[in-house]
A and B are shown apart, each in its own frame.
Chain A
Amino acid sequence: QVQLVQSRGEVKKPGASVKVSCEASGYIFTAYGISWVRQAPGQGLQWMGWIRAHNGHTSYAQKFQDRITMTTDTSTNTAHMELRSLRSDDTAVYYCARDGGSGTSLDVWGQGTTVAVSS
């Protein structure tokens, strides 16, 4: 079955970086992209950006533009999201989701990765 499995949760200090991974299975990885979405405590879903798996083309939300990098590894069917210069308000659950592009839905989601930023 189609599945996205994310890396384990992490605790980081302010100013550090975090890299979250998302391993896909059950479908042709390069036929889709991956969107990254986060939910901070008490907040709604926030789209961070997406990456086309077959060519690595990215589109980032303006809020994260200067400190986020999304990559894919087609040899392992894994997507990665790195967020730098972490602040306390980056504490959130981070999700990856399969994204067909061009207005299609986010039809399959990972289980979520909790990132806590604390000194």
Chain B
Amino acid sequence: SYVLTQTPSVSAAPGKTARITCEGNNIGDKTVHWYQRKPGQAPVLVIYYDSDRPSGIPERFSGSNSGNTATLTINRVEAGDEADYYCQVWESSSDHRVFGGGTRLTVL
């Protein structure tokens, strides 16, 4: 089955940029979705179809996907962005959804 690999942790100071990567074999050929999960809360979709933002998600959140890496970028990081972030793709051959292992963003 398809494997997505995420760096376990990333840190950024307030006001700086955080980049969270998601690696998979030719992931650029797939569409990637990103979810934010804060402790005690349900996951929230923050980026869909590689780079689209749902309504209510700040423009500071953006996404890209090419080659073997998809990236979630958070500009002007705020304390409230501290959370776990997960990438997810659809495996068309099996109709399965696959999550990456998650990246914990720590705001310094």
A residues adjacent to B (C-beta < 8 A): 35, 37, 39, 44-47, 50, 59, 61-62, 95, 97, 99, 102-107, 109-112
Q: Which residue of A lies closest to B46 (CB)?
A: A105
Residue of A47, A104, A110 near B98 (CB, 8 A) is: A47
Given contacts A106-B43, A109-B44, A111-B42, 12 further A-B contacts (CB under 8 A): A44-B101, A45-B35, A47-B88, A47-B96, A47-B98, A103-B30, A103-B90, A105-B48, A106-B88, A107-B54, A109-B42, A110-B42
Contact B37 A45 (CB under 8 A): yes
Q: From B89, which residue of chain A is reached at the shortest CB distance?
A: A103
Assess whether B43 is in contact with A95, with CB atoms less than 8 Å apart. Answer: yes
If the complex has contacts A35-B97, A103-B31, A106-B35, are A45 and B86 also in contact, measured as CB distance less than 8 A? yes
B64 to chain A, nearest CB (A): 16
- Offer 19 A-B interface pairs, CB within 8 angstroms, sorted by A: A37-B43, A44-B100, A45-B37, A47-B97, A47-B98, A47-B99, A50-B97, A61-B96, A103-B30, A103-B89, A104-B48, A104-B90, A105-B48, A106-B33, A106-B35, A106-B45, A107-B45, A107-B48, A109-B42
Of A44, A109, A110, which is in contact with the most chain B CB atoms at under 10 Å from its CB? A44
